[in-house]
Structure 1
Amino acid sequence: MKNTIYFILFSVMPFICLSCENKKEKTITIKNSKPIYSYEEKLKTEVTKMRSFLGKSTHYNSDVALFLDMRLDSGKNRFFVYDLKNNKIVHKGLVGHGSGSETGIRGELKFSNVKNSNCSSLGRYSIGGSYVGTFGKAYKLHGLDQTNSNAFDRNIVLHKYEDIPDEEQPYPICNSLGCPMVNEKFFSVLEKTIDTSKKKIILVMYY
């Protein structure tokens, strides 16, 4: 009788333990390590860096700056006019990016400083003088970083385009040849901000 009991115990117990282990394994949950993107937090970081940059120079307007968050879909408002003095967004609108920046994957872009790449270039820009070109009035952009140092030679400018919508869209908007391209209504807002500034305004494009 004892031998029978011992046989049952030693035969069945390993399977019971194995079953418990399997149950433990099944209850393990895998957490998504990819954080949810917050454009507000990213903007705060970029504003802090902008303040530091402007604090080291007297050549630029320290009250207002333009921020372009290229991680957001092009159908979303990702061009921000920011009041550095009162720490708030005062205007926002849509902006097209370069066709060469498309990767074929929505939400993922590539960037380049190379001529004829048709890509957008990340970095800080000094907004220069205006001129009348193919799209009407436009502003020349001078790249201040290694990532956009060829902007002027590439004819990368801030301009308007009639096919850019006024309001947010659930789908991507049209692309440029590398220029930050906005709708006519929003351009009028930018025009007033830029033309009334006594000092050059900084535009930064980030991802």
Structure 2
Amino acid sequence: MKSFFYFFFSVLTLACQKENGGKPIFGSTDSAIVSKSKIDTLKTNKKAEEALGFCKAHNFNTDFCILIDMSLHSGLKRFFIYDLKKNEISKEYLVGHGCGTSSWSEDSTKDNPTFSNEDNSHLSSLGKYKIGARGYSNWGVHVKYLMHGLEETNNNALKRIIVFHSWEKMSDDEVFPKGSPEGWGCPTVSNNAFKEIDPLLKNSKKPVLMWIYN
């Protein structure tokens, strides 16, 4: 009788998986990701509210800002173009972070990055940035934006040559459970993502806020 029960349960599980496109429905990580996503939306909206207050106080662009939530796995989209008028995320992308002492271009710290403001640390820095001048980059689509760190946690960004640029190694789509390739501290997006973001930054009449947080 017991063996029949196990056989029936196995058949039922396989049938359900087949109906679900072959994905497991028991113990699936999908529901955990969805739940986490909902929680992070609340967190993102709160950050956006704070960002809007900062932008108003410092004469930054109040139409949109860039929010990067480094608490999310690097294989998930955690780079947000936030529409401050509509109070919602308008675009989201993958973004890489610094590798530190781990191997360059690998994903060793995909779910537990560390951060530093120290030169040669090869780590990303948390805090608010003013997106600066547009210039030539050796990477990706050959365009970069300078990043002016506005806090004690990131005020060495220019000295460290931390800039916003694209990287051909970055994917357009989520790669979870794998992570995004890690560089030397710059927030990097895919070439296609950068081509969408570039006009927003280039045509902005006021400085744009990028806020990297954990």
Q: Structure 2 length normalisation: TM-score?
A: 0.76
Aligned-pair identity (%) = 35
Query: Contact 2:74–2:110 at 8 Å: present in 1 too?
Result: no
- Matched residues in 1 for 2:110 and 2:56: separation? 37
Distance 1:133 1:104, change over 3 A: closer
CA distance in structure 2 between the aligned counterparts of 1:101 and 1:182, rounded to whole angstroms: 21
Amino acid at match of 1:84: L
Following TM superposition, by how much is the alpha carbon of 1:104 offset from its aligned partner in structure 2, in angstroms?
5.9
Match of residue 84 from structure 2? 84
* Distance in 1 between residues matched to 2:161 and 2:201, nearest whole Å: 19
Please give the alpha-carbon distance, in whole angstroms, between the structure 2 residues aligned to 1:57 and 1:104. Answer: 37
SS of residue matched to 2:100: helix
Does the 8 Å CA contact 1:119/1:177 hold for their aligned counterparts?
yes
d(CA) in 1 for partners of 2:159 and 2:147?
A: 10
Whether contact under 8 Å (1:126, 1:143) holds in the other structure is yes
Instruction: Give the match for residue 172 of structure 1.
Output: 179
Q: After superposition, what is the alpha-carbon deviation per residue over 1:11-33, rounded to whole angstroms, capped at 9, x for unaligned? A: xxxxxxxxxxxxxxxxxxxxxxx
User: Retained in 2: the 8 A contact 1:127–1:140?
Assistant: yes
Greater Cα radius of gyration, structure 1 or 2: 1
Q: 1:52: how far off?
A: 1.7
Number of aligned residues: 171
1:34-49 to 2 correspondences below 5 Å: 37=36, 38-49=39-50
C-alpha distance in 1 between matches for 2:61 and 2:123: 27
Aligned residue in 1 for 2:98: 98
Q: 1:63 to 1:105 in 2, by over 3 A?
A: closer
Residue type matched to 2:197 in 1? Answer: L
TM-score (norm 1): 0.79
Task: Give the deviation of 1:83 after TM superposition.
Answer: 0.6
- Judge conservation of contact 2:99–2:109 (CA < 8 Å) in 1: no
CA distance in 1: counterparts of 2:184 and 2:40, whole angstroms: 25
Q: Does the C-alpha gap of structure 1 residues 134 and 104 become closer, same or farther in structure 2, counting only changes over 3 Å? A: closer
Q: Retained in 2: the 8 A contact 1:101–1:109?
A: no
Contact 1:101–1:120 (CA under 8 A) maintained in structure 2: no
Equivalent position of 1:55 in the other structure: 56
C-alpha separation in 1, matches of 2:167 and 2:112: 23
Shift of 1:101: 7.8
Q: What is the root-mean-square deviation of aligned Cα atoms in Å?
A: 1.7
Deviations 1:83-113 (A, max 9, x none): 1011111111000000018696652221100
C-alpha displacement at 1:50, in angstroms?
0.6
- 1:42-65: CA deviations, max 9, x gaps? 10121121122122122x101110
Equivalent position of 2:207 in the other structure: 200
Alignment gaps of 5+ in structure 1: 1-35
